[in-house]
Amino acid sequence: MGDANNCFHCPVPISRYAEVLMAHGGGGKLTRDLVEGLFIPAFGRPGAGPLHDGARLDLPAGRIVFTTDAYVVQPLFFPGGDIGSLAVNGTVNDLAMCGARPSSLSAAFILEEGLPMKTLARTAASMAEAARAAGVAVVTGDTKVVDRGKGDGIFITTSGVGVADPGLRIGPAEVCAGDAVILSGDIGRHGIAVMASREGLAFESEVQSDCAPLVDPVFAMLDAGVEVHCLRDLTRGGLATVLVEIAAGAGLNVRIEEDAVPVTPAVRGACELLGLDPLYTANEGRFVVFVAPGAAEQAVQALRSCPASAGAARVGEVLAGPAGTATLGGRFGADRILDMLSGEQLPRIC
């Protein structure tokens, strides 16, 4: 993996082109220029030999986990992150949520003709930096270019391969009545950061996206021997949507207490102003974990030992019923049944 900053000063004449041209996606000379002049300086060259159609992986023993996500966030850059760091962390986190240690990523770019080459270089540098931080390599990729007005700057699809302990059983079906529900930190920052950036809103204190890799928090628990039943990162639909999905998958009731859910004053204020509910606001560096009742304290301690989950807190528990529902215990004793996100709160948030 080369120094990510290289792509701003690379010796290959990528600078001949201030903008992305259709031919950069044509598979010929300009595609080769882009790969040799921008992507390889950022991501490094997998193996030593000439480029081929795919990457050969040397993986440790275990069970392979495979996942993919497309990223279409607007704007491309926002406080606390950008489409590049998002594209790495989002896919890394999907692997971590399966209990897998991320190994390798692929990156496919769909670029709009006329995109400033500097924007692409900055994005690739951010991806490389995020990959390094998460301990993964970007090993294979592809670039296509679409005509002006048929795309929106940059879309990135990353796929990830990781390796999990074959004995691990993690998923909604493993959740049991009595399980403790733990949240890794305060919610809603990613959604508010992107929204504020998109709409040019200035709040009293700038809200930074929570975008972060969650590998360390997950393995802090697994390595400590915490009996983890289910992991799920909070993304587009927010905490509420995830709890409803897991309750439905488990056929149980997931109950959280409103007062226990950390929300910063800045996010709470922004949500009130914008008419949003923090429970449905997007996150990119937060997750919930369901653990055996006796393991809750150990799980919280393990999480708090990692910077990305220093604000972890127990927020609720799993009950037998009503089956397939999620309940929010309110401040004044009033319960509220949570529903999945309906409609579209914040389009193109990731």
Site for a second copy in 250-279 (CB under 8 A): none
Q: Which stretch binds a second copy (CB under 8 A): 171-179, 210-218, 270-278, 319-327?
A: 171-179
Please report how many Cα atoms fall inside a 13 Å half-sphere around the Cα of residue 50, on the Cβ side: 2
Smaller CB distance to a second copy: residue 122 or 232? 232
Other CB atoms within 10 Å distance of the CB of residue 135: 13
Shortest Å distance, C-beta 92 to a second copy: 11
Distance between CA 187 and CA 190 in Å, rounded?
8
Q: Which stretch binds a second copy (CB under 8 A): 6-14, 105-113, 290-298, 319-327?
A: 105-113
Stretch 215-254 residues interacting with a second copy (CB under 8 A):
232-233, 235-237, 241, 245, 248-249
Shortest Å distance, C-beta 175 to a second copy: 10
Smaller CB distance to a second copy: residue 60 or 333? 60
Write the interaction track for a second copy spanning residues 8-47; mark x where CB under 8 A is met and - where it is not: -------------xxx-xxxxxxxx---------------
Write the interaction track for a second copy spanning residues 149-168; mark x where CB under 8 A is met and - where it is not: xxxx--x-x-xxxx-x----
Distance between CA 350 and CA 348 in Å, rounded?
6
Could you tell me if 302 and 224 are in contact, meaning their C-beta atoms sit under 8 angstroms apart?
Answer: yes
Shortest Å distance, C-beta 341 to a second copy: 3
Other CB atoms within 10 Å distance of the CB of residue 208: 15
Shortest Å distance, C-beta 229 to a second copy: 12
Q: Which residues, 6+ apart, have CB-to-CB distance to 290 below 8 Å?
A: 174, 175, 179, 180, 181, 182, 228, 229, 230, 231, 246, 318
Shortest Å distance, C-beta 43 to a second copy: 13
Residue 342: φ, ψ to 5°: -115, 135
Q: Which stretch binds a second copy (CB under 8 A): 4-12, 143-151, 181-189, 289-297?
A: 143-151
**What b/e sequence results for 240-270 when a residue is b if at least 16 CB atoms lie within 10 Å of its CB, and e otherwise?**
bbbbbbbbbbbebbbbbbbeebbbbebbebb
Distance between CA 111 and CA 294 in Å, rounded?
50
Stretch 197-216 residues interacting with a second copy (CB under 8 A):
none
Of 221, 222, 198, 193, residue with least CA distance to 285: 193
Q: Which stretch binds a second copy (CB under 8 A): 91-99, 254-262, 266-274, 293-301?
A: 91-99
Smaller CB distance to a second copy: residue 89 or 104? 104
Distance between CA 289 and CA 232 in Å, rounded?
7
Smaller CB distance to a second copy: residue 143 or 309? 143
Smaller CB distance to a second copy: residue 47 or 322? 47
Write the interaction track for a second copy spanning residues 275-304; mark x where CB under 8 A is met and - where it is not: -------x----------------------
Among positive and negative, which fits the CA dihedral 148, 151, 155, 157?
A: negative
Total site size for a second copy, rule CB under 8 A? 87
Distance between CA 196 and CA 274 in Å, rounded?
10
Smaller CB distance to a second copy: residue 139 or 326? 139
Write the interaction track for a second copy spanning residues 44-83; mark x where CB under 8 A is met and - where it is not: -----xxxxxxxxxxx---xxxxxxxxxx-----------
Could you tell me if 307 and 241 are in contact, meaning their C-beta atoms sit under 8 angstroms apart?
Answer: no
Residue 337 sits in the site that holds a second copy (CB under 8 A): no
Shortest Å distance, C-beta 333 to a second copy: 28
